[in-house]
A = this chain, B = another copy of it.
Amino acid sequence: MKKIRVALAQINPTVGDLSGNVKKIVSNIRKAKKIKADIVAFPELVVTGYPPEDLLLKPQFIQENIDALHEIEAATRDIVAIVGFVDGNGGIFNAAAVISNGKLVDIYHKKCLPNYGVFDEFRYFRIGKRYPVYSLGGVNIGLNICEDIWHESSPVKVQAMSGAEIIININASPYHVGKASFRENLVMTRALQCNVVIVYVNMVGGQDELVFDGGSFVVDGKGAILAKGKQFSEELIAVDIDVQGAKFELSRKDKRELKTLMDKDESIDEIKVPSAFLRKQKPAIKRKRRVNLSSEEEVYRALLLGTKDYVTKNDFTGTVIGMSGGIDSALVATIAVDALGKENVRGLFMPSMYTSKESLEDAYGHAKNLGIKIITVPINKLFKVYTDTLSESFKGMEADITEENLQARIRGNILMAFSNKFGWLVLTTGNKSEMSVGYATLYGDMAGGFAVIKDVPKTMVYELCEWRNKKEGKDLIPERILWKEPTAELKPDQRDIDSLPPYPLLDPVLKAYVEEDRSFDEIMKMGCDIACAQSVISKVDRAEYKRRQAPPGIKITPRAFGKDRRFPITNRYKSY
């Protein structure tokens, strides 16, 4: 029986911040040494941040990331560090360095490159050809990266068959609702299949539209969770792993199977890692038990982290939000205050002649509850001057969507003027249901730097507000905001329901069409009548041009808009 102490450094790097990321890595190596870890493992591409996108096409960037990696070496006296970085020149690899005692011992190259959803790894990386197994004081460790663990005939299997008893799998795995438990089940299955301990290290933090949720964990060959990190915050998780330390003997059948799993130009490499420092005597680590978050809390915290990191990593401090008294802006303002503190959030209330007294009361009431400053900037006079200015050109024509959009665009301009004058980031307030069907004004309510709840369906907006109020133990968000009828207040007596199906009907149809690529027949079977389904689908298709000009926002569903769903604008396909 052998014992090894592994530290999972679940940290939050920033894309492109090579020196900042190295500092954070080195400081975590020091912490890992303090808690007497034998190995400390960092997330995928931790040196560059993930995803670096087309920075990867710049040879200077690749070279500087390699230089940055070498800066870490000196910190690894008496410990093994596993560090994700970009290897190569010309052809590059998504790689993991094994650094020990001040030296770069080996480099693993990721084999399974995701190129679906938000991922573009074939755009950048070549496929690894080696299955290294590292021998560390008699313990055999297989190392691989993220997607490598998702496939059954994967590096995990080859490495396990070649003697690995522990697999370290480093990740930058983006969040969507339910992903954490999905991941745990998947990794558990893989551990059982291959009878290995799997150390799953995930990144944490927000990067543009993605949130990496952490939640790193260790599962043994019987499928039991040995340790588990927090979701949505940095943590250094330590775990003691007991293994047999016995070299696996391959049967002929195994050898034959290995051959079928591997390409002709691939190799299994056994590599000794210097390990004189293996700490034999140490008090055991206490095992932390964590309860999984409810789905509302999970989503809410993803939105907090995504907002906080977008704002701070882009060096904004202040934000400004158009508060209409409606539920969407109420949720965004609440998230912003929870993420950034009330001193960094301002509300603008921009009433027109269609704004109700209730809207004013609710916006101000909510701002008061949050403790944020709210300013009123009326738009009536501006709207009048616009219509006067255009009256000659529009003579004899009825008021229509033009005038509605003008109001929204005046508000957009005012928000942007505050943004320009004070350096505040405008947080937009549109939800996924609106973004799907284009129930939003381009350059109007869509104007801003970050669209916090862009991927949150309207029905979930209600759920999150209710959850937040419940957590507060009182109506942080005024109760009326939760039950009054949704309206854009851009013309007299306007209601969302005059333009759209009720949200509890709309949202499942949108999910089926946008996220699940269901056929028209399947959508019909959901109990939606033909006219309704046709109208929703054609609205979604036609709104693509708007979405293309929308600000980024946080992915929380299995398929968000943005690089997760790449749709042509020019598109004559009709599924109905």
**Which residues of A pack against B, CB within 8 Å?**
14-18, 20, 51-55, 57-61, 115-116, 120, 122-123, 206-208, 264, 309-310, 313-314, 375, 377-379, 381-382, 385-386, 389-390, 393-394, 397, 400-402, 405-406, 409-410, 412-414, 416-418, 420-421, 442-443, 447, 449, 517, 519-521, 545, 548-552, 563, 565-575
Contacts and interface: CB of A to CB of B under 8 A. Distances in A.
The 7 A-B residue pairs with the shortest CB-CB distance in the complex, in nearest-first order: A16-B573, A17-B572, A60-B519, A402-B420, A443-B443, A122-B122, A16-B571
A406 B575 CA distance: 42
A417 B443 contact: no
Nearest to A563: B566
- Which of A51, A381, A566, A574 has most B Cβ within 10 Å? A566
How often does this chain occur in the complex, in copies?
2
A134 to B, nearest CB: 30
Contacts of A381: 385, 389
A387 B513 CA distance: 45
B389 A55 contact: no
A309 B570 CA distance: 9
A573 B61 contact: yes
B412 A400 contact: no
Nearest to A378: B389
Contacts of A412: 409, 443
Given A57-B517, A122-B122, A545-B551, 7 more contacts: A17-B572, A55-B571, A55-B573, A61-B575, A116-B123, A382-B382, A390-B414
Given A409-B416, A573-B15, A575-B60, A568 B385 contact: no
A406 B400 contact: no
B51 A568 contact: yes
Contact of A413 (B15, B409, B521): B409
Nearest to A383: B385
Contacts of A14: 570, 572
Contact of A517 (B15, B58, B400, B575): B58
B20 A572 contact: yes
A386 B400 contact: no
A405 B409 contact: no
Contacts of A60: 517, 519-521, 575
Contacts of A566: 53-54, 120, 123, 563
- Which of A417, A449, A551 has most B Cβ within 10 Å? A417
